Structure 1
């Protein structure tokens, strides 16, 4: 299956929201609502107050997005795939922070606010720069975030493994956002034992990260779960050769030694 639409992500020719919407279609969902329905939601915003500052404009849009449209963070402690799939989030108006950030980012651009999306440690942030000053917003709520809170969150999450610098607060490239989205979706599908959809996520990730040994290892696991042991063996062998010092490589070596050969054929 071809995922050529992902090959353009390095040039960022297509809006991120359009690409992620196409991912849902590529995953085989037949009930994907047209993206026009989301734009209809967004276009219900009546506009900014005439004398509003940059920060106030973002706050006004945030109030519309979270209060009037009713978007909210996923309430479950164990997130399911329908809280990540963008077409389902737009219908249910509840999703994980990354998807909320992508949607609010698109809504801001729709209304002329050139907001940047940052895949910050922990969960993403939105940044709006104007007159040399940066304003940060939390995709959980749309509320502004102080610089001190950003640094505190970084220090808490990294636990001394890295020191905060402003490079951490730079806009995330589109390809990296797509990788983050597909990775979250893949992990959910694997946890839900929806192995064929998880496999499609990995195929798309390998367009963005060709020959990534960890994605190929995970692909091998999925092939094994789908009864294709002979194909899984090839992926496991690739991983062992590329990452011999990884702890899982030793286990996979033993597993490869126990394989008797081909068992099933992929259909």
Structure 2
């Protein structure tokens, strides 16, 4: 998990996004080997590169990549089962050619990186897109739909009623890893997979260690898993970070109950 940890801990993050995304996918598939999927990205980049032998400009790259990835290979957004955890795993997206916006974007970005093409992630409030920008030509791309989009489209996807350039800020690799972890956490919570949800929170708190709500959520999940010492630690951390929390009295009672139970067990 070195690349994921580097992305989350270092400023600026130094880990590789493709390797970090595959390490993240081991939460869902613990025995996953990264190398075959890195080689698959290399292969896709090579095939796209072959189609760019008469490359002229940025527009040519974007149009060729669109035809190759979305029309020829059929990569597309998974609208039938959006909340399948496999949609958040880069290996599964490469294997099944379907996923959610951010994972399809990571795939595109990593193929582009191998070809030295300037493609950046844009983390919109409700969506994720990418931007090609070489200084001469710039456009936004929606890998979930497989087409180029306008700035106005980006604002619409974000649910913005007025133009706000801050929404189009380029995402760092850490931003992307955090969002991918949050997506997986949501899936695991929905299907009541508490252990994997806790693992996503472990990683989230490595990246952003001062989010009180995450400590509370992890503590409550640890109670479900009967990990009472860990639950007590996290709930106490939540109270320390949020001394005026509206649910303080309820959480204090839970901490006291855990403390009493553990005391009787000794």
Global fold match (TM > 0.5): yes
Residue 179 of structure 2 corresponds to: 180
In the aligned structure 2, how far is the partner of 1:26 from the partner of 1:5?
Answer: 17
Shift of the 92–263 alpha-carbon distance from structure 1 to 2, 3 Å rule, reads farther
Query: TM-score of the superposition, structure 1-length normalised?
Result: 0.84
In the aligned structure 2, how far is the partner of 1:57 from the partner of 1:119?
Answer: 22
- Over aligned residue pairs, what C-alpha RMSD do you find? 2.8
Cα deviations by residue, 1:183-240 (Å, 9 ceiling, x for unpaired): 1112212222222222222111121112421221121022111112343123122213
Cα deviations by residue, 1:6-49 (Å, 9 ceiling, x for unpaired): 45653332321111112234666214452212322332222226
Q: Which moved more, 1:74-83 or 1:197-206?
A: 74-83
Q: Structure 2 unaligned runs (5+)?
A: none
SS in 2 for 1:262: helix
In the aligned structure 2, how far is the partner of 1:78 from the partner of 1:129?
Answer: 29
Residue 81 of structure 1: how far off its partner (Å): 0.9
Residue 101 of structure 1: how far off its partner (Å): 0.5
Contact 1:230/1:261 (8 A) holds in 2: no
Please identify which structure carries the higher helix content: 2
In the aligned structure 1, how far is the partner of 2:12 from the partner of 2:45?
Answer: 26
Residue 227 of structure 1 corresponds to: 226
Correspondence 1:203 to 2:202: yes
Cα deviations by residue, 1:84-114 (Å, 9 ceiling, x for unpaired): 1222222111111100001011111222311
In the aligned structure 2, how far is the partner of 1:257 from the partner of 1:245?
Answer: 18
Number of matched residues? 260
Residue 25 of structure 2 corresponds to: 24
In the aligned structure 2, how far is the partner of 1:220 from the partner of 1:142?
Answer: 40
Cα deviations by residue, 1:235-267 (Å, 9 ceiling, x for unpaired): 1222133224444445424434554422999xx
